[in-house]
Structure 1
Amino acid sequence: MSYKIVFFDIDGTLVNEEKQIPQDTIDAINELKQTDVIPVIATGRAPYFFKPIAEQLGIDSYVSLNGAYVVHDGRVLFERPIERECLEALVEHAGKNNHPLVFEGGESYYANTPDNNSMLTSVNSLRISPPGHDPDFWQKESIYQAFLHCEAHEEELYADVLPGLRLVRWHKNAMDVLPEDGSKALGIDAMLRHLGISVEEAVAFGDGLNDKEMLAAVGLGVAMGNSHPELIPHADYVTAHVNEGGIRQGLKHAGLL
């Protein structure tokens, strides 16, 4: 198969635990860019969370916010905000349980509770600036994703009470809140249709639970050696650890380097 496009997750895939891009990964991406294959970032992060990474790699096309906000060559081509009624239910139930929320718009993000330790711990793990404080932000702007801050044993509090939404854990203190049909696969489909590229001609690299749908949505799904164990069965190929040349090895396996 001759592949035409590659989608790269960020955390644990392009960057390591120190949130640094290994030099071998930078070199491999630069080599890929010398071909006709299109590199695309595919991440749960919002665009303002990964701008320095995209600039360092010279990539200006991305599937962000777990598929809800898609940009090709700097132009927005797909958006899937969370419905207002769903946000109302989320705010109500999180409030009852005293669980902080962070709302992510297309250009900025705000928390409904200032300086909460659980919220700050998870956000700081991304090595990004903390959100501003505006409990009404979700009523003013389109919201593409939210962070719900609770621990794993508290997830059952939200079972069957948030129709239209799905929750995906990304930190011991936090879960992504997405539209019910939201996933990176949704954004990838929009990108592929826009470019006229078939599913079979696409490759994706990931390592986390929010990458399951993405690996299944392409012709070749590559899991990093450091992947969450539950992701491995969804991959066509398991490459090396992010710090051990995993990106280069995976691209070589795909015949792209």
Structure 2
Amino acid sequence: MVRLIFSDLDDTFLATDKTIPDKNREMLEEACGRGIQFVPCTGRNTNGIPSSIAEYGCVHYAICCNGALVADLDRGEVIHEVDIEKEEVHQLFRALEGLPITFDLFADGHVLTAEDRWRFLDEIPVTEPTRIHIKEVRTCYPGSVEDMIDAAKNICRINIFYLDNDTRDRVWEAVDSFSDLIRASSQPCNVEVTKNGADKGAGLLWLADHLGVPVEETVAFGDSSNDIAMLKAAGDGVAVANARPECLAAADHIAQSNDKGGVGLYMEELLRRQ
């Protein structure tokens, strides 16, 4: 029996144009009727959870920032957070300062990009709907990255967009030099940095335990490397057909693509047997 559904948003639950496919909407309505909770499990911060999802009666919690943060959406509260120490954030930035990258901070319920690096958001190789979303959920910080780090209260994730593979390799090398940091990605041009142990799988396990739900009664959906830990942690880990090869390899099952409403179609069949 399924009691908790965890799903990545971009390119998994959401279509490529960032809309919700009809089959996924039907699934949310079915979940409401059955008392099954749907948990967005995303790299986004809390300000990036679409109201068109949060408004459903089966949506009470969200796992954000790649698992570094768990939010109670009904109360508007963060109930679990794993932060990166500020000095460590400064050290990582200083190792990368001269590169043509963003250095976005997921902090205090927002995503911050320093004004002198905002221009890179118009240069990264992403689809236009993705670019629009990236810019909509970010706040342009009127100062330097160093000032931005100092002004933040709690930093739970760093996102770095880069423009070429050489820069990517240098970013990876710098992140890997910190033994207590981990990296993943959701786009071909980004690196997502959290504290070691703060991933979507850890977020899933924490929330399931918090709600008293056995892991065997959870199902999770994803498409990218930042979803792999979640697929492995869930009772049933499902990759959508458009997922990256490493995500497909980690999954227990494969659903149809995000644009076809693969999450809803898979759950329709699963709930029919329940």
Structure 1 length as normaliser, TM-score?
0.90
Change in Cα spacing, 1:245 to 1:148, as seen in structure 2 (3 Å) is: closer
Q: Give 3-state SS (helix, strand or coil) of 1:167's partner.
A: strand
- Aligned 8 A contact 2:102 2:117 in 1: no
C-alpha distance after superposition, 1:213-244 (max 9, x if no partner): 00000100111111112111111110111222
Instruction: State the partner residue of 2:127.
Output: none
Match among 152, 155, 158 for residue 165 of structure 2: 152
- Aligned 8 A contact 2:25 2:264 in 1: no
Instruction: State the partner residue of 2:12.
Output: 13
Q: May I ask how many residue pairs the two structures share in their alignment?
A: 256
Q: Give 3-state SS (helix, strand or coil) of 2:6's partner.
A: strand
Q: CA RMSD in A?
A: 2.1
Counterpart CA distance in 2 for 1:232 and 1:125 is: 27
Instruction: State the partner residue of 2:45.
Output: 46
- The alignment status of 1:126 with 2:133, answered yes or no, reads yes
Matches within 5 A, 1:185-204: 185-204=201-220
Q: Give 3-state SS (helix, strand or coil) of 2:79's partner.
A: strand
Instruction: State the partner residue of 1:64.
Output: 64
Moved more, 163-172 or 220-229: 163-172
- Aligned 8 A contact 2:16 2:258 in 1: no
Q: Give 3-state SS (helix, strand or coil) of 2:78's partner.
A: strand
- The alignment status of 1:213 with 2:221, answered yes or no, reads no
Change in Cα spacing, 1:137 to 1:117, as seen in structure 2 (3 Å) is: closer
Gapped runs of 5+ residues in structure 2? 125-129
Structure 2 length as normaliser, TM-score?
0.85
Moved more, 244-253 or 141-150: 244-253
Instruction: State the partner residue of 1:139.
Output: 150
Counterpart CA distance in 1 for 2:189 and 2:241 is: 24
Counterpart CA distance in 2 for 1:253 and 1:3 is: 12
Moved more, 118-127 or 14-23: 118-127
- Aligned 8 A contact 1:223 1:239 in 2: yes
Counterpart CA distance in 2 for 1:217 and 1:30 is: 25
C-alpha distance after superposition, 1:117-139 (max 9, x if no partner): 33345572535424212422222
Change in Cα spacing, 1:53 to 1:31, as seen in structure 2 (3 Å) is: same
Instruction: State the partner residue of 1:172.
Output: 188
Shift of 1:66: 0.5
Counterpart CA distance in 1 for 2:188 and 2:39 is: 28
The structure with more helix, counted as a fraction of residues: 2
Match among 94, 97, 107 for residue 95 of structure 1: 97
Shift of 1:6: 0.7
Counterpart CA distance in 1 for 2:70 and 2:118 is: 30
Moved more, 128-137 or 60-69: 128-137
C-alpha distance after superposition, 1:19-54 (max 9, x if no partner): 111122111111111102111111011111124343
Q: Identity percentage over the alignment?
A: 23
Change in Cα spacing, 1:79 to 1:144, as seen in structure 2 (3 Å) is: same
Change in Cα spacing, 1:120 to 1:50, as seen in structure 2 (3 Å) is: farther
Counterpart CA distance in 2 for 1:212 and 1:138 is: 29
Instruction: State the partner residue of 1:222.
Output: 238
Instruction: State the partner residue of 1:247.
Output: 263
Gapped runs of 5+ residues in structure 1? none
- Aligned 8 A contact 1:10 1:42 in 2: yes
Change in Cα spacing, 1:67 to 1:83, as seen in structure 2 (3 Å) is: same
Q: Give 3-state SS (helix, strand or coil) of 2:184's partner.
A: strand
Equivalent residue letter for 2:62: Y
Equivalent residue letter for 2:97: G
Change in Cα spacing, 1:93 to 1:33, as seen in structure 2 (3 Å) is: same
Equivalent residue letter for 1:232: L
